[in-house]
A and B are shown apart, each in its own frame.
Chain A
């Protein structure tokens, strides 16, 4: 008898749904996304999921696997115990569209509120020079594949739907940090980060950094430095006096 994987997959839409059980024959080297595809191909052609690259580069196949926000394409079946039931459900922070597909448009709306990159003038010889050591820290944030797992896990929005109006979420703190630390950028976003993007809501529980498939240190390298900038701009008495005096 060949062994089988045991899957519980959430099926449904905005009007409701339930977990359904599936059994799929085991094969060597599969990832969770492969098993979902096997279910589509052989049992339920209308089972909805997103995917593209199948190699952890595009951030499309985000889901919650045994309760843990993960990319389905990078979760190997041999991570589970023999006979363990694997439960796959859609991201819980965003409204479901169908089965494993959620409406992540919140993130695209936040992206529109971030003032764009605005470079300083070129150097005298017409070039733009940046040095690798300055570029490195920005490149860390630009590794982001926009899987939105950090947004999903962040309790500020996961547990409080209302906060979505005033909180950008970890993905966008990484984006803001990237722009603020860009050696050529001239825009100042610090007031916006405090007021509109609600950085103060974050109490650095580091859940976002833990789920990041790109291993970006969102809390340590993006959020904390941004908090420091906000503090020195708004709460440093010396800076406050200087601002009042127009210095």
Chain B
């Protein structure tokens, strides 16, 4: 181990949750480091487009945390951890205002306050935003705050294994991408903020970083995961040309008036309004269009149903032969809003389509199809503290689970990062403050991890990691995608086992310095662990709910709705069990049942 560092709190990941956690831990007096795979400021948060959901009541006075809580729980098909949904709805407005305090520049209302926009599943216009580049604004603000505070940042360091001793976390090890040297961070507490798992799928809006490192290292160290079957397929990804397939098209397009159409020009979402949302969804085009400006007297357009509903509808239209030649549907804002409005509200969509697809979205409709976007499942955490089931280990953001239940509402991710990033940083600093110094690193643990990390390097014949990854992506897309069934899931699990065996045979040429083939081989190990957890949990859940749709169990099931599926490791084997969901207290149940008042 050529490089060793010691901190009170080590935060792994530098997206919104990681940086927010580090800021909080640092401010609480803990010696804190941020360790991230890419350059600082490039994490996945930068790609978030639409906005940060927070009931700030700048546009609609009727809004309030109760309404936001209810929307979140119903959007998650009630599989959410109620306490997380409550804390999130209550604290999100303060977290947004705090960003403004640190220099963020949100779009404004006419009287100078933060403007809020409509998004799927949210009853009121609620998303604080900056055009369609809100994630960039958020990450830059947090990044600049971290620089101001002088927090140590280790860029292009990949940490993939946790060290434990006597049942607690003692640090993490990995490698420095630029040189390939192995590194060790000793820590009293570790915060995982490593994001999602999308790179296990073929069509995804996620970047190479989303390889499930955090979920995998937590699992391996003895922490538990929940809801790994719950992945979000975003309804609108780009589809043509092939090289852009999967790149996200913000829900803000529909929030700002865009509508989905099939090849005969029909606004098909009116045919897909589920019973669960009937009472609150417009059933005529007239009412849907009127809703944008008058929310008191009209119900929400079905174009803005929660993402799982819209993705399934698009999938069904394409399967029924009403899709485009490229296998998508149309998303049209050109015929509904003025070119100036579109360019002002959706500048990066305008550029993205113009430059990558040669489509002018102020004139032509976009072609879109579902793309894997997010995982609701992840590391099991305690709502108030973000503590995992392993002492000293905390998790926040996409890597953690519970907040979004079976489906996440758009805009709830950026707010989740801030609310629970802060809570994780605070808890980790407190834990570090009362913890004794970590025991000296277990050298045997380090040596065996180091040997395993170096194993794929070397000349000679062997498997190509890119080939295994691409086969895994095909398998997950085809068999653990938007629609699943028992035989497909069993086949996926079988194939994942064969990929694991093949991973043992991987050989990558070249040295250790900045070697993407070697780096991928190490990430594949994480990807296969999370893919297995996702497929096996999907096989276990015999119902359809949110991001999990079983062709052989097409209905939601009341009994399954009361259970989380917990994944954990016993020795080298992944095992699952069910556990009852935390019970919603009566006063919150009332909000869910009766609808909500803001005051």
Determine if B178 is an interface residue (Cβ-Cβ < 8 Å).
yes
Given A60-B39, A98-B513, decide whether A129 and B112 contact each other with a Cβ distance below 8 A: yes
Residues of B within 8 A of A49 (CB): 516
Let me know if B243 and A57 touch, CB within 8 A.
Answer: no
CA distance A62 to B351 in the complex (A): 18
Determine if B466 is an interface residue (Cβ-Cβ < 8 Å).
yes
Determine if A29 is an interface residue (Cβ-Cβ < 8 Å).
yes
Residues of A within 8 A of B357 (CB): 29
Let me know if B147 and A112 touch, CB within 8 A.
Answer: yes
CA distance A128 to B464 in the complex (A): 55
CA distance A27 to B243 in the complex (A): 9
CA distance A111 to B39 in the complex (A): 14
Given A27-B243, A52-B42, A129-B112, decide whether A142 and B515 contact each other with a Cβ distance below 8 A: no
Let me know if A57 and B47 touch, CB within 8 A.
Answer: yes
Residues of B within 8 A of A119 (CB): 101, 103
Let me know if A40 and B466 touch, CB within 8 A.
Answer: yes
Determine if B330 is an interface residue (Cβ-Cβ < 8 Å).
no
- B residues 486-517 near A (Cβ < 8 Å) are 508-511, 513-517
Determine if B208 is an interface residue (Cβ-Cβ < 8 Å).
yes
Given A31-B243, A131-B112, decide whether A104 and B39 contact each other with a Cβ distance below 8 A: yes
Let me know if B47 and A46 touch, CB within 8 A.
Answer: no
Distance to closest chain B CB from A115 (angstroms): 9
Residues of B within 8 A of A142 (CB): 105, 130, 136-137, 140
- Contact segment of A132-140, A190-198, A226-234: A132-140
- A residues 181-213 near B (Cβ < 8 Å) are 182, 185
Q: How many A-B pairs fall under 8 Å by CB? A: 159
Distance to closest chain B CB from A158 (angstroms): 20
Let me know if B352 and A56 touch, CB within 8 A.
Answer: yes
Let me know if A46 and B38 touch, CB within 8 A.
Answer: no
Per-residue CB contact flags for chain A residues 43-84 toward chain B (1 = under 8 Å, else 0) read 001111111111111111000000000000010100000000
- A residues 94-127 near B (Cβ < 8 Å) are 97-99, 101, 103-104, 108, 111-112, 116-117, 119, 127
Chain A interface mostly: loop
Let me know if B466 and A45 touch, CB within 8 A.
Answer: yes
Let me know if A48 and B516 touch, CB within 8 A.
Answer: yes
Let me know if A47 and B516 touch, CB within 8 A.
Answer: yes
Let me know if A48 and B113 touch, CB within 8 A.
Answer: no
A-side interface residues, number (CB < 8 Å) = 57
Instruction: Identify the interface centre among B178, B513, B520: most chain A CB within 10 Å of its CB.
Output: B513
Residues of B within 8 A of A108 (CB): 40, 155
CA distance A46 to B508 in the complex (A): 8
Distance to closest chain A CB from B105 (angstroms): 5
Determine if B102 is an interface residue (Cβ-Cβ < 8 Å).
yes
Let me know if B514 and A135 touch, CB within 8 A.
Answer: no
CA distance A143 to B135 in the complex (A): 11
Let me know if A28 and B209 touch, CB within 8 A.
Answer: no
Residues of B within 8 A of A146 (CB): 41-42
CA distance A119 to B323 in the complex (A): 51
CA distance A143 to B518 in the complex (A): 34
Given A13-B513, A54-B247, A135-B107, decide whether A117 and B466 contact each other with a Cβ distance below 8 A: no
Given A27-B242, A52-B209, A60-B42, decide whether A132 and B107 contact each other with a Cβ distance below 8 A: yes
Residues of B within 8 A of A74 (CB): 355-356
Given A74-B356, A129-B111, decide whether A59 and B515 contact each other with a Cβ distance below 8 A: no
Distance to closest chain B CB from A204 (angstroms): 26
* Residues of A in contact with B (beta carbons under 8 Å apart): 13, 27-31, 34, 40-42, 45-60, 74, 76, 97-99, 101, 103-104, 108, 111-112, 116-117, 119, 127-132, 135, 138-139, 142-146, 179, 182, 185
* Residues of B in contact with A (beta carbons under 8 Å apart): 38-44, 46-47, 97, 100-103, 105, 107-108, 111-113, 130-131, 133, 135-137, 140, 144-145, 147-148, 155, 178, 207-209, 240-244, 247-248, 348, 351-352, 355-357, 464-466, 470, 508-511, 513-518, 520
A-B residue pairs, 3 tightest by C-beta: A29-B241, A45-B517, A46-B510
**What are 22 A-B contacts with C-beta separation under 8 Å?**
A29-B240, A45-B510, A45-B516, A48-B516, A52-B43, A52-B208, A55-B47, A55-B248, A57-B46, A57-B348, A58-B46, A60-B42, A98-B178, A104-B39, A108-B40, A111-B147, A135-B105, A138-B105, A139-B105, A142-B105, A142-B130, A145-B136
